[in-house]
Amino acid sequence: MDPSVLKSYLDPLPLGDWQFYDEAGSTNDLALAWVRVGAPDWALVLADSQTAGRGREKRRWVTIPGAALAFSLVMKPSASEKMLVQRFTALAALGLIRALKVMGYTAEIKWPNDVLLEGGKAAGVLVEASWQAETLEALVVGMGVNVSEDSVPLTGFLNYPATSVEEALGKPVDRWALLAGILRAMMDYRKILTGDAFMQAWTEHLAFIGEWVSFRLPGEEAKPMKVLGVTPQGELMLEGMNGERGNAVAGEIVMCYHD
């Protein structure tokens, strides 16, 4: 890869700083280490390939060279943002969704941290925190995006159907242009992160609203639930078969029911 090409996309953006690796274990780990030595807000760690990436519940996210995006952003939350750190996962997801919309495609957020294209998972977000004593020092927002078909894991390794951006769009995609689009959109959305407009955007792009899904709480069997929306604190609002309503802090949608 020609580093000057990537530089041409990233230098115009108001990033705090950025680092690129041909290969990395985990961009989140590198970003967390950077935080400990003074990484600024909007510092970016990007890898062409990633061998030890991770998602929720310690799931692996492997990135092969030239096929995907694997990056992590350092965020230094303001006092008001610290009260709503759950929104940073949606911040990254909405960034990708807006970047894809520019390309003419509508995507959705599968709560809590996936982006769906044509019903298949095309991206995942993992947010991790760095603390100093009891003070939140920074958040690291990691994201993996399946860009080409080669980036999609084999079916036997999937816990949910997956796809890639190029499969969904039906045409080749410049992944560095896509990255720049994601970052620009995230910067815009962060300006409204603590307000109602952000929640409106999250709700508008939330998958399965009003639909019945199979939802699994940690350590429990999956049950039919209707998705009602998302709370300002990032909890998923659900309704059970008996009409009882509640909010999920953790868990995942494992299947959507179709008529």
pLDDT score at 146 = 95
Whether domain 3-204 has CATH 3.50.50.60: the reply is no
pTM beyond cutoff 0.85: yes
Task: Read off the pLDDT of each residue in 199-204 and give the average, rounded to a whole number.
Answer: 98
Same fold, 3-204 and 212-256: no
Q: Which residues of 65-86 are buried (b: 16+ CB within 10 A; e: fewer)?
A: eebbbbbbbbbbbeeebeebbb
Q: Encode pLDDT of 207-246 as tens digits.
A: 999 999 999 999 999 999 999 999 999 999 999 999 999 9
The whole-angstrom separation of Cα 248 and Cα 187 is 28
Q: Per-residue confidence at 197, pLDDT binned at 50, 70, 90?
A: very high
CB 231 within 8 A of CB 245: no
Q: Encode pLDDT of 118-137 as tens digits.
A: 889 999 999 999 998 889 99
The whole-angstrom separation of Cα 43 and Cα 50 is 18
Per-domain boundaries in the chain: 3-204, 212-256
Q: Are strands 17-24 and 43-54 parallel, antiparallel or unpaired?
A: parallel
Tally Cβ neighbours within 10 Å of residue 6: 18
Region 212-256: CATH code:
2.30.30
Q: Encode pLDDT of 167-182 as tens digits.
A: 988 999 999 999 999 9
| Residue type (1 letter), 213 | V
